[in-house]
Chain A
Amino acid sequence: MESRFRVLFLIVAIVGLSGCAATKNLFGFGREEAPPPSAEPPGQVIDPQVERREIKEPAIDREDFEIGAYVGIMGIEDFGSNVSYGVRLAYHITEGFFVEGTVGQSEGGLTSFEVLSGGARLITDSERTLTYYNLSLGYNILPGEVFLGEGRAYNTNLYLIAGLGSTRFAGDDRFSVNVGAGYRFLLSDSVALHLDFRDHLFDIDLLGEEKTVHNLEGHLGVTVFF
């Protein structure tokens, strides 16, 4: 009876131990089980659900152009100062250099001679309209940031600019040169305010001898990058 119980206990113990995975290898009599044959090759196990994306440069929004309008005051030598206005288009070549085209207009007043002499007029009223176009090269010489209060910072640029073009005044087109400096205040990454001072120089022989005149213009403008 006792030996029969012993055999039964042994059978139970062996079955129990061999069934316990944790002790299988501990006692050294567990069999190494071969992994079940997989249905597909290992490379196919992960099926990508996300489409691969490539960075294509033309798809990136390029904002190198700047377009805008301005209004200011222009002093025309001998003809007084008046309101001026114009449009500008710029292209930024590098972070430093940009080219800019402007078309603007102002109005000449009466010269001191015309006021004092009474009725005498040097030029007709339609010839008093001054129209110019300029092609200029600018350089951002002092880029920086300004702070408004504690929480706001804006990017700015102080630029020097010079160029050439043509000015129509007193009945003729005249070759003109412009030099100046401006301040670009970026309200956001795409919108900027400009404060700009220019000297427009050209030769004029209206009052007898030919002389070079300086016509200073200061204007305030808004531009948008695109």
Chain B
Amino acid sequence: MRTGPGRGYPIFHVVDRGETVAVIMQRTEWYLVRSGSGKEGWVDRAQMELTLQPDGNPVSFDEAGLEDLTNAKWELGVLAGDFGGANIVSLYGGYSLNPNVSVELWGSQILGNFSNGWMGSVNVVHEAFPEWRVSPFFTLGAGVIHTSPKSTIIQGEDRTDQIGHVGAGFRAYATRRFLLRAEYKSYVVFTSRDENEEVEEWKVGFAFFF
């Protein structure tokens, strides 16, 4: 047993063979246990899996893995990157209709040199190989964008426009319930002026699934 939940903390007590321990709580991969003699300390997952349950069966813990990602229903993530020269920070939530297709709701804040704004959109994402560790996807969506010029810019007015976008990217399983995500999206802003605007976006970030 260690004094803290980490590899570096010193081992201060060894539980005898045949003694029982009570699990108090878990933090990341570490378990706080109390021995029969009342000593409390932290034990890692590998050590815990060497113990036996009262019926004599070995203890095993369910570790979230790649197959859980493939079958996970919900996903929540944060991405940041470049939106046509401006900075963008995005939050999204996704729901899987089946292992290949999911629906996502996005909210973004756009922070540019001359204007700021926000964007909301609904996406459909298709993954051809959801069981791959690095899995590519295609996405299609629509939404609205609101832009307002910065206070130091005199001319210009607030605008709210509809947008449509297509994109591609990949999701890479990282560890436990986490994944990394990178994507490119090409937006068309349907402005009220004569010409539509086209904006390119690159983003990277992480998400967790459950």
Could you tell me which A residues sit within 8 Å of B by CB distance? 50, 52-55, 57, 60-64, 92-95, 99, 135, 140, 143-145, 153, 155, 164-166, 170-175, 186, 189, 203, 205-206, 210, 225
In B53-83, the 8 Å CB interface with A consists of 53-55, 57, 59, 61-62, 78, 80
Say whether A145 contacts B3, CB under 8 Å. Answer: yes
With A57-B61, A62-B25, A94-B29 as given contacts, are A173 and B5 in contact (CB-CB < 8 Å)? no
* A92 B151 Cβ-Cβ under 8 A: no
Q: What size tier do the contact residues of chain B reach?
A: 35 or more
- State whether A153 and B3 are in contact (beta carbons under 8 Å apart), knowing that A95-B30, A135-B78 are contacts in the complex: yes
Residue ID in chain A nearest B206 by CB atoms:
A99
Interface centre among A63, A95, A173 (most CB of B within 10 A): A95
Which 10 residue pairs across A and B have the least CB separation, nearest first?
A: A175-B111, A175-B87, A171-B151, A61-B25, A155-B4, A95-B6, A52-B55, A143-B6, A173-B116, A60-B26
Interface residues of B (CB under 8 A from A): 3-10, 23-32, 53-55, 57, 59, 61-62, 78, 80, 86-87, 89, 109, 111, 113, 116, 150-152, 175-176, 178, 206
| Alpha-carbon separation in the docked complex, A189 to B62 (Å) | 24
Given contacts A54-B55, A135-B78, A205-B152, contact A60 B23 (CB under 8 A): yes
Would you give 7 A-B contacts (Cβ < 8 Å), ordered by A? A52-B54, A60-B23, A93-B175, A94-B29, A145-B3, A173-B111, A175-B111
Cβ 8 A contact of A165, one of B9, B10, B62, B89: B89
